[in-house]
């Protein structure tokens, strides 16, 4: 059976300059492109491009969770600069639970690409039936963190997305199915849906 659960995904680009038109936003296109390649499910995106403002970020994340997004991905605003407040907006205002493994793994992956990876304070949280993940702002970091590092086709460091489908199962969301050549989602055998 080729049917896959439909899924609504919130994608949020957080950048003062992209949201005010100083430069073109590359975060939302990069997120859509990668998720479209990685998932077999029919996808609906809810897109937002907003400045680095804590209240605005929290309100946007809450709105997307309330709109039924099973997954919400942010990009940008995770660094140490005064206006980088995405982790605070994600944690303090909207989290039911923190999921520290995602941020830890992202920094491990990113260290294979840039030594400044440790400057990214990204977090992941559960709110209701939604998983909210912060990614760094550099557009190329989206693929790097979601997909991990491959060398000669071999997965050297797993991307964080490998753990997303099972996490979404556990919070009562749709059954996400990955294109394994992009990113192989991992589930324990007992959680694999029989076709």
Ligand X SMILES: Nc1nc2c(c(=O)[nH]1)N[C@H]1C(S)=C(S)[C@@H](COP(=O)(O)O)O[C@H]1N2
Given the complex with ligand ATP, which of 25 and 169 has the nearer CB atom? 25
Smallest gap from residue 121 Cβ to ligand X (A) = 7
Q: Which of 151, 180, 155, 175 is nearest to 164 (CA)?
A: 175
Give the per-residue contact string, 59-78, with ligand ATP (x = CB under 6 A; - = no).
-----------------xx-
Q: Footprint of ligand ATP on residues 127-166 (CB under 6 A)?
A: 137-139
Q: How far apart are CA 48 and CA 1, in angstroms?
A: 34
Q: Which of 98, 99, 120 is nearest to 109 (CA)?
A: 120
Given the complex with ligand X, which of 49 and 171 has the nearer CB atom? 49
**Cα distance between the two ends of the chain:** 6
Contacting ligand ATP (CB under 6 A), which of 2, 3, 21, 23? 23
Provide DSSP, 31-72. Answer: HHHHHHHHB-S-EEEEEEEE-S-HHHHHHHHHHHHHTT-SEE
Given the complex with ligand ATP, which of 136 and 185 has the nearer CB atom? 136
Residue ranges in contact with ligand X by CB under 6 A: 76-79, 84, 110, 113-114, 116-117, 119-120, 136-138, 141, 144-145
Given the complex with ligand ATP, which of 84 and 169 has the nearer CB atom? 84
CB atoms within 10 A of CB 184: 15
Contact 129, 10 (CB under 8 A): no
Partner from ligand X, ligand ATP, none contacting 87, C-beta within 5 to 8 A by type: none
**Residues at the interface with ligand ATP (CB under 6 A):** 13, 15-18, 23, 25-27, 52, 76-77, 79, 81, 137-139
């Amino acid at each position: 059976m080729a049917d896959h659960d439909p899924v609504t995904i919130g994608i949020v680009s957080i950048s003062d300059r992209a949201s005010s038109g100083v430069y073109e936003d590359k975060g939302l296109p990069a997120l859509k492109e990668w998720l479209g390649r990685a998932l077999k499910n029919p996808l609906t995106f809810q897109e937002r491009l907003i400045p680095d403002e804590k209240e605005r970020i929290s309100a946007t994340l809450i709105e997307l969770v309330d709109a039924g997004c099973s997954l919400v991905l942010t990009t940008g605003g995770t660094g140490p600069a005064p206006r980088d407040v995405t982790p605070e907006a994600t944690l303090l205002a909207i989290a039911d639970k923190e999921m520290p493994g995602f941020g830890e793994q992202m920094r491990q992956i990113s260290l294979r690409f840039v030594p400044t990876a440790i400057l990214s304070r990204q977090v992941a949280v559960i709110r209701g039936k939604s998983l909210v993940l912060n990614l760094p702002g550099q557009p190329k970091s989206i693929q790097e963190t979601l997909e991990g590092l491959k060398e000669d086709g071999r997965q050297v460091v797993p991307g964080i997305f490998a753990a997303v489908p099972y996490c979404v199962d556990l919070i009562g969301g749709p059954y996400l199915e990955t294109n394994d050549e992009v990113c192989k989602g991992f589930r324990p055998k007992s959680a694999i849906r029989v076709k």
